[in-house]
């Protein structure tokens, strides 16, 4: 398959990665909410603990976090691939490096999960890595919007000319 056969898909491919990433940013915030609820449940006592347990926050946090891990890896691969399809090269820059850092940090954070029950310090590392991920992800969203604006400008210039 050559790049010319994908020409009809190019306009749509350019926006697939950013849309998925914004959805994943929202999913990351929801996962953070669930993680906070897990902590509240763990620290609660008595009747309030019984009520919080009904929310099954730990199970939901783990499930959504697992989905997030898979989608962030696929989203990063997709973003790199679309960039290559559109420009014939992989643009090496801060957006790429931060995206790769996010993939590495999310993977590391997920790998820590089996050790969190026995070592409380591992839980702190897990939380710290995920807060760093959210910070990088927020920055990625801003730089991603700048990249999309540049793509839209190029598309409108090409269609006008």
pLDDT (tens digit per residue) in 22-45? 999 999 999 999 999 999 999 999
- Going by pLDDT thresholds of 50, 70 and 90, the confidence category of residue 95 is very high
4 has pLDDT over 70: no
Instruction: Confirm if 99 and 140 have CB atoms less than 8 A apart.
Output: yes
Q: What is the pLDDT of residue 2?
A: 62
- In Å, how far from its chain's centre is CA 152? 23
Residues 78, 95: Cα–Cα separation, whole Å: 14
HEC string for 98-131: HHHHHHHHHHHHHHHHHHCCCCHHHHHHHHHHHH
- In Å, how far from its chain's centre is CA 72? 4
1 has pLDDT over 60: no
Domains and CATH numbers, the chain: 3-154 (1.20.120.1770)
b/e map of 16-27 (b: 16 or more CB within 10 Å)? ebbebbeebbeb
pLDDT (tens digit per residue) in 101-152? 999 999 999 999 999 989 999 999 999 999 999 999 999 999 898 888 888 8
């Amino acid at each position: 398959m050559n790049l010319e056969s994908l020409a009809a898909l190019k306009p749509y491919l350019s926006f697939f990665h950013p849309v998925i990433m914004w959805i994943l940013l929202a999913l990351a915030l929801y996962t953070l909410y669930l993680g906070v609820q897990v902590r509240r449940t763990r620290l609660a006592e008595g009747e309030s603990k019984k009520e919080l347990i009904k929310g099954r926050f730990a199970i939901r946090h783990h499930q959504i976090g697992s989905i997030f891990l898979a989608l962030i890896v696929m989203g990063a691969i997709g973003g790199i691939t679309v960039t290559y399809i559109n420009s014939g090269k992989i643009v090496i820059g801060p957006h790429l490096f931060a995206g790769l850092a996010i993939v590495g940090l999310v993977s590391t954070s997920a790998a820590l999960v089996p050790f969190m029950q026995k070592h409380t310090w591992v839980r702190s590392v897990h939380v710290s890595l995920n807060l760093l991920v959210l910070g990088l992800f927020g920055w990625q969203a801003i730089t991603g919007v700048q990249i999309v604006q540049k793509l839209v400008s190029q598309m409108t210039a090409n269609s006008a000319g």
